Amino acid sequence: MSITLTNHNLLEMVPELFSVKASRSIGETPVLKEYGRVNLKYFNTGNGIAYGAFEGLFYEEVHLHSWEMEELSFLYFNAGEHLHFKSLSDNLEFCMNAKSTMQGTIHEGLRSLGIYEKNRYYSSHSVIISHELYQTLAHETRTLNPLSSSKNLLHIQDYGSMLHTQSILLNQIAHQHIFQGKLQELFLESKLLELVYQTFHKLPLHVNEEFSSQDTKALHKAKQILLSNLTNPPSLKDLAHHIALNEFKLKKGFKALFGTTVYGMLHAHRLKEAKNLLEHNDISVQEAALHVGYKSLSHFSKAFKAYYGIFPIEIKKERNYFYLS
């Protein structure tokens, strides 16, 4: 059994979400409550950039039809489950993997379909940019390599794994609630502008041209070894030896394939594990830090603040408040 909905079900509640022509506005609202637990956050800068965050799950499979009313360009970040969608106008199908990003242009008249499976957690971030601004940024930074014909109503210009810097910024944006009023708007706008800058400024990756399939398998093995030993990670020399690559190729390949350094990935996963522990377990900040391999509490707190935009003690305060209220 599946449920068919349209983007008009969303636009009735949040008309600012898909229009860069709307005035400046910010908000958060639950949507489609009869079909699942879904929440939308939105922020329109009023200057040609609009942001929307979609998070939640549906009780049944949902087919969400969209009819776009204006030409616009977009950056899309999929932070949740893999997502299937179709461009009905162009007869194209696409599957976005978790932790992936896409950018392109939607032309007026596009009819598309997103398929959301039952009880799967979806989390995505959309940045809508006026077509004129998008073309200017694309021209000034680099020539994009289209993945679909420019004649299509859905013109996909770039697709790949989410970069480490993008993940950090999206995590910080997700914690915008720690600020209120104008300060929240300024914080959110600054992070959105930085996200747009980082997305357009990144250099294209040519992993397949520089690394063989065996190299790529070895790099994925290195990632698995690294993340299985968060508290006692191997040295670069030992890690390179385990996967039979030299240190130079390990470091270069890691950056190209995963968008971060070896210890950058280790650092990020330590912080994510610590955040998960603080949110779901009754442990102290120091215990969480030690559990993921940080010996210095002050170093851990500073690193957590830099990655998530808040100190770890604030996670504890939010959790305690939840249980007391």
Count of CB atoms situated within 10 Å of the CB of 223: 19
CATH architecture, domain defined by 208-324:
Orthogonal Bundle (1.10)
Calculate the alpha carbon distances from 25 to 9, 14, 15, 20, 257 in Å. Answer: 19, 10, 10, 11, 38
Per the CB < 8 A criterion, the answer to whether 46 and 192 are in contact is no
Collapsed DSSP state (helix, strand, coil) of residue 225: helix
Q: Write out pLDDT tens, residues 223-240.
A: 889 989 988 999 999 999
Residue tagged 């409550």 (tokens): 33
Q: What are phi and psi of 163, to 5 degrees?
A: -80, 155
CATH topology for 2-201 is: Jelly Rolls (2.60.120)
Q: Write out pLDDT tens, residues 72-108.
A: 889 999 988 788 888 888 787 777 878 888 888 888 8
Domain boundaries, the chain: 2-201, 208-324
Mean pLDDT for all residues in the chain: 81
Q: Write out pLDDT tens, residues 116-151.
A: 888 888 999 999 988 788 878 777 765 454 444 457
Residue tagged 């993008």 (tokens): 166
* Own/partner long-range contacts of 279-286 (Cβ < 8 Å, ≥24 apart): 279/315, 279/319, 284/316, 285/312, 285/313, 285/316
